[in-house]
Structure formats: C-alpha cells, structure tokens
C-alpha cells in the first residue's frame, strides 16, 4: 500500500480514502479503473515528484487534466495518477491578447476569464472539457473556422518530461510542433499560453427538424455551407430530442435532425447568412439568438453529463455526398437510446490555411468529422445494444473515411492511432518521442510508441 511520496506536497489519495471512488471517477462512467494512488498535484513541482517516483519504481503512470477523454486514459489500473485537477489558475493579458492557464483548467474556467476582456480562443463545445487534452489532440470547436484549432493558437507550453525535468517549448520548435496535435506523449504540460481573438457575442443556436425532413435538409445544408464564410461554424446532431426545458415538450423524444450554428462576425451579416437554413420548411424549434460566447459554449453541456456510459466511433470525411447522407439518416432512424447521438462537425475555413505539416494535426483538408456516440445510464442493460448500433453505423460510414480525429478515439488500438496521424506525421512524432520519452513512460494515452514503425498509411486503416 502506497502511503506517501517523499517530497510530494499535494494530496495523495489511496484506495482506503473515503474520496477514492469519486477521485478515480471520470466523465465516461463506463471506465472503472483502480489506480494504486491518485496524486492531486498543487503545481509543477509536485508533478516532477510524481513522475520521478513512478519512473523509478516502474509504476504505470497516467495524467489527468479534465478527465473527459472517452477512452478513460486519465486513470490507470494499479499505477499512479498525476492529477492536475487542482491546478486551475488563469491569467489574461489583454495588452498582448494572450492567456496563460495551468494544466488542470477547464474551458468553463478559461472562457469566462477571457470573456471579461472581450476575447476568446477556440475551446471545444463543452465547458467541462479540460484545456489540456483538447489542445494536445488538436482542438476543434465553435471558433475553429474563423480562428483555427486550439493547437493553432498555442504559443507556448511548460512541461515536465519523463525524466522529471521542467522545460519549456522555448528554442524547441520540434516539441511545440508535436504538442500541437500529438497528445500527451511528450510530457505533462503544466502551463499553456494561447493567442486570443476579439469575440464577445455570437449568433447561433440549434434549429430542429423532424428526421423525416433530414434527406432533403442535409442536401440543402451541404449546398448552403459550400460558400459559407469562415465566421460560421455548424454542427449537425442526429438523435432523439432530449427533454431540455428550452425545447417544446412535444418535441421531447422525437427523432430529429438539429443543426447548431455559431456565427462570430457582425450579427447583422450573420442573420443574413443563417436565413437560408432557418427558413428551410418549418422547423420544430429555432433557438437561434445572440448570446455571450461562454453561454453558447455551454449549450451542449446538459446532453453529455458526467457519469453516463459512453462508447464512440469516429471518422473524418471529405464531404457529404448523397449516399453518405442516406447512411446518416438510415442509421439514426435505428437508434434506441434517448441518450445516443451522432454529431457531424463542419471543418474547413482557417483550419485549411495551415499547411498539413505545420503541426501534428493532419487531415486539414477534411470537410467534416463524424462522431457516433452510444450512451446509456449506469445499470441499464443497454451496453450491447448501443455499442452494436455504433459499430454498425461506423462500418457504414467507413468507405468515406479519410482519417480520424485523435481526440475522438476510444481504446481502439495502434492501427487507429496511425489512422489519426497518417504515416508521415506519425513517423515524425516517433522521432520526437525518441528524444523526449524514449522509454515510453507516457504511454497511457493514444500512444506514440518510440519502438513502433508504421506499416500502413491512414487510408489503409478503417
């Protein structure tokens, strides 16, 4: 039984502690791992101690920021968790339009802090997501088409290496390149600095139509977004309408196609851009309005709460041809759970203006990311049914697959990690991993194994 870690000034939580079960719980309630101890760090010095302790004793080591990853890699069985959840400081510099944030910060911490100065950066679509995992995997979100991925806005990072040393990305351009999409493979990032952009209010919100309208609606949507300005980002949601107070009660539980927009330019121009979508037939509900950006960021929160059981499969695709639209509608019609859903993210815009090899986030030419999410409550006998629905849906989408966004991977194996990066990017990540973590201390993640050599391209893997 681990009782103490010499030199550690944070809180060490062992299986005997009353808070052990709550401390090891993750956003995805389907993950049930039992670490030997959870080390809640108070700062970078604690992280150094924890990393050295685990390495010297050959203990499995995982790193928890927000704990939101669907694969649950933030917690390991039988090892040590470096828990950054109490490292939540945020400092905004309005003069330079930058923000510096500690490794345990959530977007629900960062967005209100920058909003006070009329600034924001791309930060996912759920406020209880951690900044660390989102950034290190690339970071898609509502502002991405106007201002790029979260990783594109990452200017600087401070981290603890596998040797327990504290370093920065200053004078290490290859390390900053790897952190912009390569995940938590190169160290524990304890501090991030981001570029900010003037954003106060955004125009948008969900508009819902019955699923019966979806075949025509999605073809109309495809044509509409073809000329969409970069200030517009949209996400399609295919599901049974959740019982949210903002939705008419008559809609609750009904199969719907919802399209949520976020326009971050002048509101008058946005209203004109959104008009062709909002006027399609007669929507069941239209919740479009001008909102403070942090409020828009929280719209999805009630539909993805902590503790539900989640199972995901995802693909990036070039476009939405008719046969893929038909697949989306057909498989949505088969969904049983009122909690399962499919999201189709509109990519493009500023994402495409960054060269493919400029960061470790590849597939910049992809038009959409499709995320098929099975969800059910703890104790419900729905796991087999929902996972089968996800897998069947995923295989129907697979002929259109270009790759996959690494932050949407579960526990799917090395072939899918390769699909997320492609051979060229993966090889470069391996070379950098050999410099900063040759013994693969940081392996409880979507792993870049320094001993691996890709034998296929991303296009070969589905």
Q: What does the pLDDT read at residue 460?
A: 39
Q: What does the pLDDT read at residue 429?
A: 97
Alpha carbons 68 and 123: distance in angstroms, whole number: 14
Tally of CA atoms within 13 A in the half-sphere of 426 that contains its CB: 25
Q: DSSP letter string over 37-70?
A: EEEE-SSHHHHHHHHHHHHHHT--EEEESS---T
Alpha carbons 274 and 269: distance in angstroms, whole number: 9
Burial 337-362 (b: 16+ CB within 10 A, else e): bebbbbbbbbbbbbbbebeeeebbbb
pLDDT tens-digit map of 304-328: 999 999 999 999 999 999 999 999 9
Q: What does the pLDDT read at residue 454?
A: 57
Q: What does the pLDDT read at residue 3?
A: 80
Q: What does the pLDDT read at residue 1?
A: 62
Q: What does the pLDDT read at residue 459?
A: 39
Q: What does the pLDDT read at residue 455?
A: 46
Alpha carbons 449 and 445: distance in angstroms, whole number: 10
Q: What does the pLDDT read at residue 25?
A: 98
pLDDT tens-digit map of 6-17: 999 999 999 999
Q: Do 123 and 141 contact (CB within 8 A), yes or no?
A: yes
Alpha carbons 347 and 349: distance in angstroms, whole number: 7
Alpha carbons 372 and 384: distance in angstroms, whole number: 15
Average pLDDT by consecutive 10-residue portion of the chain (462 residues)? 89 97 98 98 98 97 97 97 98 98 98 98 97 98 98 98 98 98 98 98 98 98 97 98 95 98 98 98 97 98 97 98 98 97 98 96 96 96 96 98 96 94 96 97 96 51 36
Q: What does the pLDDT read at residue 461?
A: 37
Q: What does the pLDDT read at residue 453?
A: 60
Q: What does the pLDDT read at residue 442?
A: 98
């Amino acid at each position: 039984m681990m009782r103490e870690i010499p030199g550690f000034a944070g809180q060490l939580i062992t299986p005997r502690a009353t808070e052990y079960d709550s401390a090891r719980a993750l956003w995805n309630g389907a993950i049930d791992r039992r670490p030997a101890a959870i080390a809640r760090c108070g700062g970078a010095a604690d992280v150094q101690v924890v990393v050295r302790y685990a390495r010297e004793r050959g203990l499995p080591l995982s790193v928890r920021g927000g704990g939101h990853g669907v694969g649950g890699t933030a917690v390991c069985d039988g090892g040590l968790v470096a828990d950054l959840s109490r490292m939540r400081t945020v400092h905004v510099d309005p003069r330079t339009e930058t923000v510096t944030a500690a490794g345990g910060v959530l977007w629900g911490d960062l967005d209100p802090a920058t909003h006070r100065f009329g600034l924001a950066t791309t930060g996912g679509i759920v406020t209880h997501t951690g900044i660390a995992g989102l950034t290190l995997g690339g970071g898609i979100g509502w502002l991405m088409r106007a201002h790029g991925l979260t990783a594109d806005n990452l200017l600087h990072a401070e981290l603890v290496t596998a040797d327990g040393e504290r370093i920065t990305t200053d004078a290490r351009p290859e390390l900053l390149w790897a952190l912009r999409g390569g995940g938590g493979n190169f160290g524990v990032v304890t501090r991030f600095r981001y570029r900010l952009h003037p954003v106060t209010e955004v125009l948008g919100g969900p508009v819902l139509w019955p699923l019966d309208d979806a075949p025509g609606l999605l073809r109309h949507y495809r044509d509409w977004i073809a000329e969409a300005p970069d200030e517009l980002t949209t996400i399609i949601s295919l599901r049974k309408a959740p019982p949210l107070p903002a939705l008419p009660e008559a809609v609750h539980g009904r199969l719907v196609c919802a399209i949520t927009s976020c326009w971050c330019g002048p509101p008058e121009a946005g209203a004109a851009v959104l008009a062709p979508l909002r006027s399609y037939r007669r929507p069941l509900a239209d919740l479009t309005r001008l909102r403070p950006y942090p409020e828009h960021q929280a719209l999805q929160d009630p539909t993805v709460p902590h503790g539900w059981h989640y199972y995901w499969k995802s693909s990036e695709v070039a476009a939405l041809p008719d046969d893929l639209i038909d697949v989306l509608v057909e498989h949505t019609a088969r969904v049983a759970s009122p909690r399962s859903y499919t999201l189709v993210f509109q990519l493009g815009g500023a994402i495409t203006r960054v060269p493919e090899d400029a960061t470790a986030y590849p597939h910049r030419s992809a038009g959409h990311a499709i995320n098929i999410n099975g969800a059910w409550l703890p104790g419900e006998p729905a796991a087999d049914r929902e996972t089968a629905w996800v897998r069947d849906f995923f295989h129907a989408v697979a002929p259109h697959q270009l790759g996959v966004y690494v932050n949407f991977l579960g526990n799917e194996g090395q072939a899918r990690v390769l699909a997320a990066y492609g051979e060229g990017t993966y090889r470069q990540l391996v070379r950098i991993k050999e410099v900063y973590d040759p013994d693969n201390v940081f392996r409880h993640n979507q792993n870049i194994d320094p001993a691996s050599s890709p034998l296929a391209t991303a296009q070969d893997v589905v």
